[in-house]
Structure 1
Amino acid sequence: MTGLLAGKRLLITGVLTEASIAFHTAKHAQEQGADVVLTGFGRLSLVQRVANRLPRPAPVVELDVQDATHLDTLAARVRDHTDRLDGVLHAIGFAPPSCLGAPFLDSPREDVSVAIEVSAFSFKSLVVAVKPLLGPGAAIVGLNFDGQAAWPAYNWMGVAKAALECVNRYLARDLGRDGIRVNLVTAGPLRTVAASAIPGFTGLEEGWTARAPLGWNAADPGPVARTVCAVLSDWLPATTGSLIAADGGVLALAPV
């Protein structure tokens, strides 16, 4: 089989619906020659139905990144489907409602802790869990939204994304000696399940579309998914610890 990812074996987390970046990444990766294993949390029957809509049905492994048993056994359960991983997509994020849209100063410590653990610390947790399956040349990619600015309503999820960006740099530092690359793809706003939890998302989407030099279609995860596939490939062998934007060019512009 030929393609950008021919022969690659990938673990892709965060597939919930066909609108997700993770689903489109799995789809494009298969079209480029990769074999994929998916992870799901909670509604596994739904994830499996979505997995069956890929060009080639993919196996689904349960993963709750807050469950130590799930993490400790992940490598063994992935080995039921493949003996190695060449790439991993971390597409996991969550913040309780008090951390999105509600007054920033009112968010309780417990809810902020959940947002940081699931959206940032889990990047490290996932890497540690699958490291026995990774070898030189492997690539780890996380999904990001700009953590450098204070966006309306994004609140503590913005803090979590800033933490994720920092985790990315430290993972790149520590895994480089093993020949493993770690990068984030920073996406523009897309109409995913996660986006539906952000108050005022429509306004963010409209403003983004108006400003993007290349234009922006919030209904199309394809450009972001293809960027992820490129970073998972062998074509960026000297790139690690980076934030790679797939956002139509908005983040390159001066703020208004």
Structure 2
Amino acid sequence: MGILEGKTVLIAGVLTEASIAFSAARIAQEQGATVVLSNFGRALSLCQRIAKRLPQEAAVVELDVTDTEHLATLADRLREVMPAGAQLDGVVHSIGFAPQEAMGEGFPEVAWEHAATAFQVSTWSLASLTQACRPLFGDKASVVGLTFDATVAWPVYGWMGAAKAALESTSRYLARELGPDGVRVNLVAAGPLRTMAMKSIPGSSQFEEAWETKAPLGWSVTDTEPSGKAIVALLSEWFPATTGEIVHVDGGFHAVGV
């Protein structure tokens, strides 16, 4: 019996097989979960194709976290594709975006409109997605998001780095407020991986070079399985008293200096 046997999980933001979210979806199914995926716009058809490459084809719902109607109707639309009578046991927030204008150098020169997009999509959406799913939660639920260690300032990451710092704070506030309702909220801080998100960052090769030389356990920029396993573990009952936490899955890079 898998550690997610009988559970239903929404994984938001799946785009390609190279994504952490896809790895989490695959492992979750292998561990017994019913998985529902989401994306929107042009990425929706990609998500639907990807859903067929899982061990069992997953249902897909459309979700644009900047669309208030999508958020307002999410619970009802999930009920239509979830097993009859099932509750939603877990949510994976694999959503992040910043315009190119908000990344790279020139941090103080970035216009608010570009920074605001990064915060709305990458930060505020953790709270809005969790709130949209709350009608489906039972006595217990686990929300897991993805971050890139925001305790330091990275080259070229720009306002996405600031948005990730705010995401980490958001997860703690959600953990504080929703804990009495049995909802755990945690983040996985993965090292650099060659996902679509990382490829969109100008100069991201600098991260790969740093991890190659400094990560104590070594690091593969193409292996999303360690991060996927961490997400599934946090979705499970194996961390019943853990919330507001950031689990680093980065080969130990965060723990060492020069």
Judge same fold: TM > 0.5, yes or no.
yes
Question: Scaled by the length of structure 1, what TM-score is found?
Answer: 0.97
Aligned to 1:153: 156
| 1:193 maps to 2:196 | yes
| 1:29 maps to 2:67 | no
Aligned to 2:144: 141
Q: What are the Cα deviations for residues 92-148 of structure 1, in whole angstroms up to 9, with x where unaligned?
A: 000000111141122100010000010000000000100001122210000010111
Q: How many residues align?
A: 254
What aligned pairs does 1:29-178 form with structure 2 within 5 A after superposition? 29-43=28-42, 44-82=44-82, 83-178=86-181
1:231 and 1:46 map into 2 onto residues whose CA distance is 27
CA RMSD of aligned residues (A): 0.8
Q: Shift in Å at residue 229 of structure 1?
A: 0.4
| Secondary structure, counterpart of 1:156 in structure 2 | helix
Query: Aligned letter for 2:8?
Result: R
| Secondary structure, counterpart of 2:81 in structure 1 | coil
Q: Structure 1: give runs of 5+ residues left out of the alignment.
A: none
Aligned to 2:249: 246
Question: Scaled by the length of structure 2, what TM-score is found?
Answer: 0.97
- Is contact 2:105-2:155 (8 Å) kept? no
2:212 and 2:94 map into 1 onto residues whose CA distance is 23
| 1:9 maps to 2:8 | yes
Q: Structure 2: give runs of 5+ residues left out of the alignment.
A: none
Q: Shift in Å at residue 210 of structure 1?
A: 1.4
Range 196-205 or range 231-240, more displaced: 196-205
- Is contact 2:29-2:56 (8 Å) kept? yes
1:139 and 1:214 map into 2 onto residues whose CA distance is 28
Query: Aligned letter for 2:222?
Result: A
* Residue in structure 2 matching 1:229, options 217, 227, 232: 232
1:223 and 1:67 map into 2 onto residues whose CA distance is 32
Q: Shift in Å at residue 69 of structure 1?
A: 0.1
- Is contact 2:98-2:160 (8 Å) kept? yes
- Is contact 1:3-1:32 (8 Å) kept? yes
Q: What are the Cα deviations for residues 19-55 of structure 1, in whole angstroms up to 9, with x where unaligned?
A: 0111110001001111100011212221101100000
Query: Aligned letter for 1:162?
Result: A
- Is contact 1:135-1:180 (8 Å) kept? no
Query: Aligned letter for 2:100?
Result: P
- Is contact 2:122-2:164 (8 Å) kept? yes
Q: Shift in Å at residue 253 of structure 1?
A: 1.2
2:207 and 2:255 map into 1 onto residues whose CA distance is 16
| Secondary structure, counterpart of 1:85 in structure 2 | coil
Q: Shift in Å at residue 12 of structure 1?
A: 0.3
| Secondary structure, counterpart of 2:171 in structure 1 | helix
2:119 and 2:10 map into 1 onto residues whose CA distance is 22
| Secondary structure, counterpart of 2:138 in structure 1 | strand
Query: Aligned letter for 1:198?
Result: I
Moved over 6 A (4+): none
Aligned to 1:216: 219
| Secondary structure, counterpart of 2:90 in structure 1 | strand
- Is contact 1:139-1:181 (8 Å) kept? yes
Q: Percent identity of the aligned residues?
A: 56
